[in-house]
Amino acid sequence: MNIKELKLICYPESKRTTNDYIFFTLIFRRISIYFSYFLIKAKISANYITIIGIFAYIVGCYFLTKGTFYSAIWGAAVINFGMFLDLIDGEIARFNGPTKLGGFLDLQHSYLINAMLLPSIAIGLYNVSGNKSIDILLLSFAGTIGLCLFGTLFEIVKRHFKSRPDVFSQSSPTIGRIIAYQFNNGQWGISKLGRFLYLARMNILTTTGVMLPLLLVCTLSRTLLWYVIFYSIAFIGLYLTSVILMVIMLRLKRVRFE
Whether 102 shows a pLDDT value over 70: the answer reads no
Report the chain's mean pLDDT, rounded to a whole number.
Answer: 78
Per-residue DSSP letters for the chain?
A: --HHHHHHHHS-GGG-SGGGGSHHHHHHHHHHHHHHHHHHHTT--HHHHHHHHHHHHHHHHHHHHH--HHHHHHHHHHHHHHHHHHHHHHHHHHHH---HHHHHHHHHHHHHHHHHHHHHHHHHHHHH-SS--SHHHHHHHHHHHHHHHHHHHHHHHHHHEES-S-SSSSS---HHHHHHHHHTTT-SS--HHHHHHHHHHHHHSSTTTTHHHHHHHHHHTT-HHHHHHHHHHHHHHHHHHHHHHHHHHHHTTSSEE-
pLDDT band (50, 70, 90) for residue 36: confident
Q: pLDDT tens digits for 134-157?
A: 888 899 999 999 988 888 877 776
| Cα Rg of the chain (Å, integer) | 19
Amino acid at 63: F
Structure-model confidence comparison of residues 39 and 60, the more confident one: 60
Are 167 and 177 spatial neighbours (Cβ–Cβ below 8 Å)? Answer: yes
Span of 14-23, 57-66, 194-203, 237-246 with lowest mean pLDDT = 14-23
The pLDDT tens digits for 42-85 are: 888 888 888 898 899 999 999 999 989 999 999 999 999 998 98
Model pLDDT, residue 13:
56
| pLDDT classification of 1: cutoffs 50, 70, 90 | low
CB atoms < 10 A from the CB of 149, how many? 17
Q: Which of 74, 73, 63 is closest to 120 using CA atoms?
A: 63
- Domain of residue 170 covers 3-257
**CA quadruple 152, 158, 164, 170: dihedral, nearest 10:** 110
pLDDT at 217: 95
How many structural domains compose the chain?
Answer: 1
Tell me what pLDDT residue 111 has. 78
pLDDT at 124: 92
Give 234-244 pLDDT, tens digit per residue.
999 988 988 88
Distance CA 246, CA 34 (A): 42
Q: How confident is the model at residue 176 (pLDDT cuts 50, 70, 90)?
A: low
What CATH code is carried by the domain that includes residue 239?
Answer: 1.20.120.1760
Q: Who wins on pLDDT, 124 or 180? A: 124
Amino acid (one-letter) located at 40: I
Q: Is the pLDDT of residue 206 over 70?
A: yes
163 vs 18: CA distance, rounded Å: 20
In this prediction, residue 162 has a pLDDT band, given cuts at 50, 70 and 90, of low
Q: Average pLDDT of 236-256? A: 76
Instruction: Give pLDDT, residue 215.
Output: 95
Q: What is the pTM of this model?
A: 0.82
> Averaged over 114-137, what is the pLDDT?
85
User: What does the pLDDT average to over 209-235?
Assistant: 94
Report yes or no: 175 and 153 within 8 Å, Cβ to Cβ. yes
For residue 247, pLDDT over 70 is answered with yes
Q: Give CA–CA dist 42/39, Å, rounded.
A: 5
CA distance 145 to 236: 8
